[in-house]
Amino acid sequence: MTYWRKAPFALALDERLPNNILMSQSSVIAGPWIICAKLHHAIAWLPKVTASTIYNEVVRAYFANPAHAGDLQGSFDQAITADVSESEGGAQVVLAAGIQAGSIAEMAYRAWGCPHLIAALELVCETMVNQPVEALEKFDSADITHNLAVPTEKSGRILLVEDALAALWAQVAGADT
């Protein structure tokens, strides 16, 4: 097993299961970071004490299956990307959307952050796909904060998601003018 520990959780890649987690050097984030769980079998261990007490079932389910992690795979009328970061905690999000005929055809992300951030991104991507592009402007973080039981001290992670969606909307709105 290979372990990485640069966030409040540990991630492990089992070499017997190839392509579970791809690592990449990034010009955006210094050092290696997880960009994709290709086979949807990301292996993540959270300390037993925190897995059941800090992260609810919804967070653990999304974190264990980061289906939208990585890069956009399709061809679109418009592909837009937003890169936002939080200086205090070091969290970073690169969120991408593929727009086709006025709808969000696909969303993907790369993130450096806690399980709440990964789960929030998964939930946003799952919710936004197949929605009209205007949904980017109308995002409300209250539902996500509630569904994921995000503690107040981690609300900055959800604000990152809001900022990324606002940046995507600004690109779409700017292209329409």
The region of weakest confidence among 91-95, 107-111, 154-158 is 154-158
% of the chain with per-residue pLDDT over 70: 68
Q: Where are the beta strands (DSSP E) in the chain?
A: 2-4, 10-13, 22-25, 32-36, 43-45, 78-85, 92-100, 103-112
Tokens coding 26:
């990034």
Spatial separation of the C-alpha atoms in residues 125 and 67, rounded to whole Å: 9
pLDDT, residue 53, reads 56
Q: Between 1.10.1370.30, 3.40.1350.10, 1.10.260.40, 3.90.1010.10, what CATH number should domain 2-176 receive?
A: 3.90.1010.10
* Sheet bearing 43-45, strands edge to edge: 2-4, 10-13, 43-45
- Quote the CA–CA distance of 40 and 50 in Å, as a whole number: 23
pTM above 0.75, yes or no: no
Q: Is the pLDDT of residue 61 over 50?
A: yes
* Token code pair at residue 21: 């987690």
Of 140, 133, 126, 148, nearest to 98 by C-alpha is 133
Task: Let me know if 165 is exposed, middle or buried by CB neighbors in 10 A (0-12, 13-18, 19+).
Answer: buried
Domain ranges of the chain: 2-176
pLDDT of residue 31: 34
41 vs 87: CA distance, rounded Å: 30
Closest CA to 97 of 149, 135, 47, 144: 135
pLDDT tens per residue, range 108-154 = 999 998 899 999 999 999 999 999 999 999 888 898 999 999 988 88
